[in-house]
Amino acid sequence: MMETDWNENSTRNTLGAKLASVISAHDTNWIIASRRNEYTTRKIIIGAALGLVGLVFLLLGNPDKLTSRSALLSMELRSGVRNKLAIDIISIGSQTRPEYQQAQARTFATHETVRHFFPITEGDDRDASCHKGLTNEDAVNIALECRKGSYEGWSYPEATKSSGQSKHRLKLLDSLRTQNIYKDPESLQADDHAADWMCAQKRPVDGFGTLLDYYKGTNVELPDFLFVVDDDTFINMELVTDFLRKKKYRPSTARVMAGCLMRFPVVGNFPWGGMGILISRAALENFIRPVHCESKKSMDKFDKRVCRQLSEDLIGEKELFREGMSISSLLRAYVAHEKYTSYRDWTLGFCFHNDWLWGYFVDYYELSIDMSPNGAFEDRIGSYGDSVIVWESPESVTETGQCMYKRHATNESHIGHLVGPDKMYELFWSQKLLAPEHFRDYERTNNKLGRLGR
């Protein structure tokens, strides 16, 4: 796969063939920036256009569903032009609100850089018993169980003790239970969708693993970057791709970035829920490469780091590892090893928010380069554009960058969360009117919609 060309040497078609012969690449970049700045002087035109677009959507009615059952739906939204980024997107959603993923597919997923859009729902869960059998009361009980530490009635199972595992090795798992940082049981008790929330904690890993299986089974090249986001997340692809190019973030460098990074003293660094993660091609390769710990003579540096971390066994993952297994396979095995519906029979249990798992495996297994800003500490999972939440106490929380958009989105935000379908369409059209040549017609690509077997 050829390295992405980061130099924008070609002139924009919208400037016309006449200008194309005289405008340099430098001038092109200046003009593109100028066109974006014109937004403030074109509010009236855009407002009128948005009104017209809204009327069109009302007349068209609801779009076709994009949800799947035991299968992935894929939209081939991008041609094979290799001088552009190839970005794939996993959207984690639910069959209870398909309009969210439908809005994502019709808005930012039509950007020229988006190659595939994969909506993931309950139909793609490996543990089908969860959303069918778990009750809201069960979800509350699980949260209570996950807040029991060794000092509050929970102790390491006899099987674990007899195998030679020490409390020291499981210290991170113990910290998760003792610090009362798992989802508040009282908030779950007041939530009519508590069971849905609980089951969804495993869904990102399920979707990620299924997508990697798809890449392998169909010989599809890995994307330059992969986004994993919630169904109520909006991405301004114009700003994101411009950011990646300006920062010269190459797909060939192993890099995992959180849309908003949470610095937490107990769990460590992890993505803030909903803002998603961005994984480069090289980092994806680290996720899927086989690991060998038994043949010590042939171990490379990556194997040695992974095997050393496995021996630490901080969350009880060592017993699930098999020779030749990849980190992505280990991650899936860890998620699947104890079902929510069997929580009464748990040994180690599964007491992770999905964001904590990304943070743990990326940071501790060194799947990404060190992205710490000053070298004072190690950040294997970095932040997108210095977007960080620093949590020191409930009274001391600071937010920077895209983290300020974790509960809304504007035309200036690169990534926004808790965004409804109507707001997605509004944001999308304000962007498309400024650069229509960068977006594809959804209806034109709809005939490429198809099922991808697992």
Q: What is the phi/psi pair of residue 258, to 5°? A: -90, 135
Q: Tell me, what's the pLDDT at 297?
A: 65
Q: Tell me, what's the pLDDT at 150?
A: 46
Q: Has residue 17 been placed in a domain? A: no
Distance between alpha carbon 304 and the CA centroid of its chain, in Å? 27
pLDDT of the chain, 454 residues: tens digit per residue: 444 434 333 333 332 333 233 333 334 343 334 444 444 444 445 455 555 544 444 444 444 444 433 344 444 444 433 468 999 999 999 999 999 999 999 999 999 999 999 999 998 998 888 988 999 999 999 998 888 764 454 444 443 443 444 444 566 766 666 666 788 888 999 999 999 999 999 999 999 999 999 998 898 999 999 999 999 999 999 999 999 999 999 999 999 999 999 887 666 788 988 899 999 999 999 999 999 998 766 788 999 999 999 998 888 899 999 999 999 999 999 999 999 999 999 888 898 889 989 999 998 898 998 877 665 455 788 899 999 988 777 677 889 999 998 888 999 999 999 999 999 999 999 999 999 999 998 876 532 333 344 3
| CA-CA-CA-CA torsion sign (190, 192, 193, 194) | positive
Q: Tell me, what's the pLDDT at 341?
A: 93
Q: Has residue 159 been placed in a domain? A: no
Q: Has residue 55 been placed in a domain? A: no
Integer angstrom CA distances of residue 311 from 303, 325, 379: 12, 15, 21
Spatial distance between the Cα atoms of 235 and 68, rounded to a whole number of angstroms: 22
Q: Tell me, what's the pLDDT at 274?
A: 85
Integer angstrom CA distances of residue 241 from 114, 186, 358, 404, 414: 10, 41, 23, 20, 10
Check residue 316 and give left, alpha or beta (phi > 0: left; psi -120 to 50: alpha): left
Give the number of other CB atoms < 10 A from CB of residue 430: 20
Q: Starting from the edge strand earliest in sequence, which strands make up the sheet with 72-76, in order?
A: 381-383, 256-258, 277-280, 225-230, 87-92, 114-120, 72-76, 450-452
Q: Has residue 357 been placed in a domain? A: yes
Q: Has residue 442 been placed in a domain? A: no
Q: Has residue 9 been placed in a domain? A: no
Q: Tell me, what's the pLDDT at 59?
A: 41
Look up the domain containing 385 and give its range. 87-151+164-432
What total number of domains does the chain contain? Answer: 1
Q: Tell me, what's the pLDDT at 32?
A: 38
Q: Has residue 31 been placed in a domain? A: no
Instruction: Looking at 165-251, list the stretches that DSSP marks H as alpha helix, in order from N- to C-terminal side.
Output: 171-178, 185-189, 194-200, 203-218, 237-246
Q: Has residue 273 been placed in a domain? A: yes
